[in-house]
Amino acid sequence: MLTYSFLQHYWCFLVSLLGALLVFLLFVQGANSIIFSLGQNDNERRLLINSTGRKWEFTFTTLVTFGGAFFASFPLFYSTSFGGAYWLWMLILFTFVLQAVSYEFQNKIGNLLGPRTFQCFLVINGIFGPLLLGGAVATFFEGSNFIVEKGNLINADAITPIISRWANASHGLDALLNPWVLVFGLAVMFLARTLGILYVINNVNDENIRSRGRVRLVGTAIPFVILFVSYLVHLLLKDGYAWKPENGEIFIEPNKYLHNMVDMWYITVVMLVGIVLVLWGIVTEILRDSKFCSSHSSLFKFAGIWPAGVGTVLTVLSLLLMSAWNHTAYYPSTADLQSSLTLENSCSSYFTLHTMFYVSLLIPLVLAYICYAWRKIDSKPIDQEEIANDEHAY
Amino acid sequence: MENLLLNIDAGTIDWSRAQFALTAIYHWLFVPLTLGLAIIMGIAETIYYRKKDVFWKHTAQFWQKLFGINFAMGVATGIILEFEFGTNWSNYSWFVGDIFGAPLAIEGIVAFFMESTFVAVMFFGWKKVSAGFHLASTWLTGLGATISAWWILVANAWMQYPVGCEFNPDTMRNEMVSFSEVALSPFAVSKFCHTVTSAWIIGGIFCVGVCCWYLLKKQHERMAVESMKIGAAVGLVAALLAGATGHKSGMDVARVQPMKLAAMEALYDGGTEQGLKLIEGIEVPYALSIMATNDPQGFVPGINDILNGYTTPDGRVEPSADEKIERGKKAISALAAYRQAKANGEDATAHLRVLKENMKYFGYGYMRDKSQLVPPVLVNFWAFRVMVGVGCLLILFFAVVLATLYHWPKFLFAKRDITKLPAWHYWAAIMLVPLSYLGSECGWLVAEFGRQPWTIQDMLPTWAAVSDLQSSSVIITFFLFLILFTTMLAVEISILFKQIKKGPKS
């Protein structure tokens, strides 16, 4: 049962799941990006920061594990994308480093830079983290400008002995010149912001912030929906890079992603369910105070963050699987078609994937204790009183 | 072969090394304190759990607060390290990613989530979870950090002593063939034990240093004395264990990285019955032979012996560097011929045989000259001495602190009250904190400078492991990280000082 092909697809699924969870957890960044808008005074901003501050480690850890799992299962991607799109990844990392220290440092006595500086760091990470991560994910569909030649390591006539090379000098920043990469990046940024507002509405016990959040939600969700739908339509119409199992050749297939959606209809169903859940979560919170809500209370039983969060995970997971399964090159090269990365040509050996399969069986246990701890910590929404009495409050 | 390396910008290699070293050095400022304080605060909270004395709750919370300030910087620098394997060492990432990636992934799945989940409960759960669950969370935070150290040190140990893998000429990379050999390599076990115990020393000396500050200022004396008992005990046990595991590490290095040992000792011409130089001109007879082989008569090769080849007393012949380079070039040529033959549909068996015969020296094929095989001797020599010197000093220091605290032996310490010592005693203890950090960093300098020029011992030198980047890109990111990390370090130290000044709840 554990064939090489199964393990390649299994690890693609796990990495995609981590990516999907990461996008959901970007609600931390999304909420941080608007702390100056949602929080009108120092107390309100502190409340917001303490709300997201209890979750930031999850986002951070998921990002690190996403990187580690990608490295372990598809090392050629790690080598090619990180080494090639150097500046894109470095900017992403830079913003996350700013975030990591900002919570702990901002309200401590002795903070040499002042709380406002660290709040600005959170805003920078909140805007550019999701935007650039979204841009990086968009290259799975739009392609990147790289060349891979494994023989370079021993080929005396090669231009360079390095096996993967970026074909231009911009090292990843060129991706941001592609308007569709920007569209997807902005969609992820607005999605993170939408999820951030939904999270805050559920997690912060402050009516001013909640009502302000519901107003901002409309202005955030509309651009998200427009950008996301535009990209989805573009994706359905665009050519994709396909892989021939018989000889490993990569070729352009018109409407490849549309074909993937048809061929893998079960993933398409999951994606549609995900999209509906995201929309349901958004609409739930927008209409929360309306007459419609009071007359149809069963529809509004859950806080918006839960359907929207589950929906985000399902949608992103489906999109990432669409980019790689069904003989698709998940990291297309626009410089050299045959350099494109597929599950088959970029993965680890059977032995490594097989060994790691058993390690991955621990994941349900990890998820279980995370959920348990999360429930304990979030047993009641955070409020001003709790912050005032908490020795460790940020 | 010469052409193969001409197109790599030497600046890219040097700056990539500098950037990785910068990140690792900064990371190692924060990680040992995280690992060490995890033990201190865990013990303090356990005493609170058993005695229900609120004094111990405040003590535990105080150390947790300092832990939290330090923790964030460890996390921030750690993420950069992980991704730098890809961003700056892309050839490396493919060449050994099949083996190296697994420990990083396991670290994320098993350790990081445990650490990040329970650290949140530890900080914010005092009023939300039961005392038992909170105590478990505190220990699980430390356990998560320690498991994380295990897997990253497995990865590092594999780079120093690559085992459990085979080169696959079709995929052009090394592939794992035994997970247990990688995960339970004796080199990894020694490295983990030595590194983690050295981190506990940092936790111990930091705790004692902070307590001495309070005794100097005549503040929070009960907390200072009680915490000092924990810190000094943890420190002494850890320092003794670090000494023992250090000896085992020394023997491992002598066995698999003789050039590193020779550089640490500035030993050019080796032999049997080798003494250990304390400093140039002062030597402890037989000590190096004992350190390397557990035998006063043991043979230790010097740098010249390794470069020119040598025969051990038991008759084992080690080829010269020139011969290894020659065989490495043969391996690379055979690999090129193998791939060409396969591409042409020809029989490639003969090339494969030559490759396998010479694969052990594959990395030497990237050498232009045998002088490239010698690591920087001066740095290794002094870094090793600082590490060992500080370690020995700390054993003595912790023993004296415990003797003073428990008034034993009576004829020496019966009348000494730890709260009423002359001020210079406290200052000396406080000054030992930065000195201990220096010793700890020097340990890593020895580990990493000593294995130069290899990213993976005998397999891949640094110049064949880098990414295809302009040096200007790496220079810019180097200085960006330097400014960022230094600024954040300054902020962290300032906050730590203020927090210490503020002290625990009375």
Size of interface A-B (CB pairs under 8 A): 296
> Are B83 and A89 within 8 A, CB to CB?
yes
**Closest CA in chain B for residue A364:** B109
Please report where in the chains the tokens 């995370």 appear, as a residue: A370
Asked if B90 lies within 8 A of A162 by C-beta distance, the reply is: yes
* Angstrom distance (rounded) from CA A344 to CA B394: 54
Per the structure block, which two tokens stand in for A192?
Answer: 């993170």
ipTM score of complex:
0.93
Beta bridge partners of A166: A146
Cα–Cα distances (Å) from A5 to A250, A332, A344, A378, B303, in that order, read 18, 20, 8, 41, 49
* Angstrom distance (rounded) from CA B330 to CA B336: 10
Residues of chain B neighbouring A390 (CB-CB closer than 8 A): 124
Reported as a single tens digit per residue, the pLDDT across A49-84 is 999 999 999 999 999 999 999 999 999 999 999 999
Q: Which phi and psi (to 5°) does residue A236 adopt?
A: -65, -30
pLDDT of A340 reads 97
CA distance A110 to chain B (A): 4
Cα–Cα distances (Å) from B103 to A15, A299, A363, B153, B457, in that order, read 16, 46, 15, 9, 18
CA distance B286 to chain A (A): 44
Asked if A83 lies within 8 A of B95 by C-beta distance, the reply is: no
Asked if B87 lies within 8 A of A82 by C-beta distance, the reply is: yes
Per the structure block, which two tokens stand in for A380?
Answer: 């009641």
**Closest CA in chain B for residue A89:** B87
CA distance A71 to chain B (A): 5
- Which DSSP string corresponds to B225-249? HHHHHHHHHHHHHHHHHHHHHHHHH
User: What sign does the CA torsion over A345, A349, A353, A356 have?
Assistant: negative
Best mutation target, A25, A86, A155, to test chain B (most B CBs within 10 A): A86
Among B92, B175, B495, the residue with its CB nearest the CB of A349 is: B175
Beta bridge partners of B282: B279
**Closest CA in chain A for residue B113:** A61
CA distance B467 to chain A (A): 5
Position B185 in a domain: yes
Among A64, A101, A112, the residue with its CB nearest the CB of B72 is: A101
Asked if A392 lies within 8 A of B133 by C-beta distance, the reply is: no
Residues of chain B neighbouring A156 (CB-CB closer than 8 A): 1-4, 336
Beta bridge partners of B290: none
Among A69, A108, A362, the residue with its CB nearest the CB of B110 is: A362
User: What sign does the CA torsion over B260, B266, B272, B276 have?
Assistant: negative
pLDDT of A388 reads 86
Amino acid at B32: P
**Closest CA in chain B for residue A56:** B116
Neighbours of A177 (CB within 10 A): 9
Largest CA distance in chain B: 87
* Angstrom distance (rounded) from CA B412 to CA A364: 58
Measure CA of the first residue to CA of the last residue in chain B; give whole Å. 70
Beta bridge partners of B311: B317
* Angstrom distance (rounded) from CA A320 to CA A331: 11
Amino acid at B195: T
pLDDT of A1 reads 80
**Closest CA in chain B for residue A107:** B495
Best mutation target, A4, A25, A64, to test chain B (most B CBs within 10 A): A64
Domain residues for the domain of B155 are: 2-257+376-449+451-502
* Angstrom distance (rounded) from CA B227 to CA B62: 11
pLDDT of A390 reads 83
Asked if B113 lies within 8 A of A370 by C-beta distance, the reply is: yes
CA distance A366 to chain B (A): 7
Please report where in the chains the tokens 């302000």 appear, as a residue: A212
* Angstrom distance (rounded) from CA A255 to CA B292: 65
User: What secondary structure letter does DSSP report for B454?
Assistant: E
Asked if B72 lies within 8 A of A376 by C-beta distance, the reply is: no
Per-residue pLDDT of chain B (506 residues; tens, 9 = 90+): 445 554 567 889 999 999 999 999 999 999 999 999 999 999 999 999 999 999 999 999 999 999 999 999 999 999 999 899 999 999 999 999 999 999 999 999 999 999 999 999 999 999 899 999 999 999 999 999 999 999 999 999 999 999 999 999 999 999 999 999 999 999 999 999 999 999 999 999 999 999 999 999 999 999 999 999 999 999 999 999 999 999 999 999 999 999 999 999 999 999 999 999 998 889 999 999 999 999 999 999 999 999 999 999 989 999 999 999 999 999 999 999 999 999 999 999 999 999 999 999 999 999 989 999 999 999 999 999 999 999 999 999 999 999 999 998 888 887 889 999 999 999 999 999 999 999 999 999 999 999 999 999 999 999 999 999 999 999 999 999 999 999 999 999 999 999 999 999 87
Position B360 in a domain: no
User: What sign does the CA torsion over B449, B452, B457, B459 have?
Assistant: positive
> Are B186 and B252 within 8 A, CB to CB?
yes
Residues of chain B neighbouring A75 (CB-CB closer than 8 A): 93-94, 97-98, 101, 173
Please give the angle made by the CA atoms of B363, B367 and B373, to the nearest 5 degrees. 85
Amino acid at B257: Q
Cα dihedral B178/B184/B187/B189 (nearest 10): 170
Q: Where are the alpha helices (DSSP H) in chain A?
A: 4-25, 27-32, 35-38, 42-52, 56-73, 75-77, 83-84, 86-106, 115-142, 179-203, 207-237, 256-263, 265-286, 291-295, 305-324, 343-346, 350-360, 363-377, 384-389
Does residue A147 sit in helix, strand or coil? strand
Does residue A205 sit in helix, strand or coil? coil
- Which DSSP string corresponds to B131-174? HHHHHHHHHHHHHHHHHHHHHHHHHHHHHHS--SEEEETTTTEE
Please give the angle made by the CA atoms of A206, A208 and A212, to the nearest 5 degrees. 120
Neighbours of B472 (CB within 10 A): 12
Among B76, B86, B494, the residue with its CB nearest the CB of A71 is: B86
Asked if B102 lies within 8 A of A72 by C-beta distance, the reply is: yes
**Closest CA in chain B for residue A104:** B69
> Are B366 and B463 within 8 A, CB to CB?
yes
Beta bridge partners of B271: B300
Asked if A79 lies within 8 A of B499 by C-beta distance, the reply is: no
pLDDT of A295 reads 77
Helices A86-106 and A56-73 sit at what angle, rounded to 10 degrees? 150
Reported as a single tens digit per residue, the pLDDT across A18-57 is 999 999 999 999 999 999 999 999 999 999 999 999 999 9
Strand A164-166 relative to strand B173-176: parallel, antiparallel, unpaired?
Answer: unpaired
CA distance A250 to chain B (A): 18
Per the structure block, which two tokens stand in for A68?
Answer: 């580690």
Does residue A328 sit in helix, strand or coil? strand
Asked if A162 lies within 8 A of B3 by C-beta distance, the reply is: no
Asked if B68 lies within 8 A of A163 by C-beta distance, the reply is: no
**Closest CA in chain A for residue B504:** A391
Total domains in chain B come to 1
Position B410 in a domain: yes
Best mutation target, B96, B122, B124, to test chain A (most A CBs within 10 A): B124
Residues A332-356, buried b or exposed e (16+ Cβ, 10 A)?
bbbbeeebbbbbebbbbbebbbbbb
Residues of chain A neighbouring B75 (CB-CB closer than 8 A): 57, 60, 100
> Are A76 and A345 within 8 A, CB to CB?
yes
Please report where in the chains the tokens 């650290």 appear, as a residue: B119
Neighbours of B275 (CB within 10 A): 17
Does residue B320 sit in helix, strand or coil? coil
**Closest CA in chain A for residue B9:** A160
**CA nearest B386: which of B154, B161, B236, B198?**
B198
Asked if A63 lies within 8 A of B176 by C-beta distance, the reply is: no
Chunked mean pLDDT (size 10), chain A, 394 residues:
94 97 97 95 94 92 92 95 95 94 92 95 97 96 94 71 89 94 98 97 94 95 98 96 94 97 98 97 89 77 92 98 97 96 96 95 93 87 87 83
* Angstrom distance (rounded) from CA A31 to CA A55: 11
* Angstrom distance (rounded) from CA B431 to CA B212: 10
Contacts of A193 (CB under 8 A, 6+ apart): A30, A31, A33, A34, A126, A130, A220, A224
Residues of chain A neighbouring B487 (CB-CB closer than 8 A): 113
Asked if B71 lies within 8 A of A96 by C-beta distance, the reply is: no
* Angstrom distance (rounded) from CA B276 to CA B288: 5
pLDDT of B426 reads 97
**Closest CA in chain A for residue B97:** A75
Residues of chain B neighbouring A55 (CB-CB closer than 8 A): 120
Position B272 in a domain: no
- Which DSSP string corresponds to B168-215? ETTTTEEEES-HHHHHT-HHHHHHHHHHHHHHHHHHHHHHHHHHHHHH
Asked if A71 lies within 8 A of B128 by C-beta distance, the reply is: no
Position B439 in a domain: yes
* Angstrom distance (rounded) from CA A71 to CA B100: 8
pTM given for the model = 0.94
Does residue B455 sit in helix, strand or coil? strand
Best mutation target, A58, A76, A79, to test chain B (most B CBs within 10 A): A79
**Closest CA in chain A for residue B336:** A154
pLDDT of A159 reads 56
Residues of chain A neighbouring B97 (CB-CB closer than 8 A): 71-72, 75-76, 78-79, 348
Does residue A204 sit in helix, strand or coil? strand
